[in-house]
Amino acid sequence: MNLYNYCQSEGIKIDVACEVGFYRLKDSQIKDFIYSGIKCIVVDILQSRVATRYKNVEWHRVGIGFKEGLGTFLWNGASTHHIGILSPSVQNNSHKKKYKGTINHKCITFDRIDKGDIDLLCIDIEGLEYAVLKFMKSKPKVIAVEMKWRKYKNPYFKNIRAWMRYHGYTFVTVNTSDEIYRRTA
């Protein structure tokens, strides 16, 4: 499901879109929001030129976690993940084929970035998606969160589902590895 088209067809006004876990623009779930000039917040430890090419993009080069400090990440090309976290590449054994090294990088809690104005949130941070939700200030209208992929099941699967119910989100559909939710309460 294309999130931009979904929001357009459902009449969901998005003023701020955020993607936590960004590989490249062509694979981004918020690329159409970026192209249309909507304010976008991007969070990832890897560098990207997207913020220099698009004035509507606010880039945060940090890791997100349950606490602040230095995190050690395994880098395997398309993704990075905290060492010790059950990520899709670990559970599907693809990290062994693409291993490129480790990166030590600053980690913060999501409330340091979230000003409370995010309308659409995409989270794909290889097993730590719940850390974003736990510290979130915003009440996004739409949330896409990585939950399952091949043999992978998010280590916080039950916590995320419970969080969605508690905060008034209804399941909409599955988009490859992501579950899409819409706030109804």
| Span 136-160, pLDDT tens digits | 999 999 999 999 877 778 889 999 9
Is pLDDT at 64 greater than 80 in this prediction? yes
Q: Is the pTM of this model over 0.85?
A: yes
What is the mean pLDDT of the segment spanning 15-30? 93
Give pLDDT, residue 83. Answer: 66
Burial-class residue 141 by CB neighbours within 10 Å (0-12, 13-18, 19+).
buried
What is the mean pLDDT of the segment spanning 68-78? 80
Q: Domains of the chain by range and CATH?
A: 3-183 (3.40.50)
pLDDT tens digits, 109-142: 999 999 999 999 999 888 899 999 999 999 999 9
What is the mean pLDDT of the segment spanning 80-86? 65
Rounded Cα–Cα distance for residues 50 and 59 (Å): 8
Residues 184 and 140: beta-carbon distance below 8 Å:
no
> For 50, left (φ over 0), alpha (ψ -120 to 50), or beta?
alpha
| Cα 38 to chain centroid, rounded | 17
Pull the structure tokens for residue 10.
């459902």
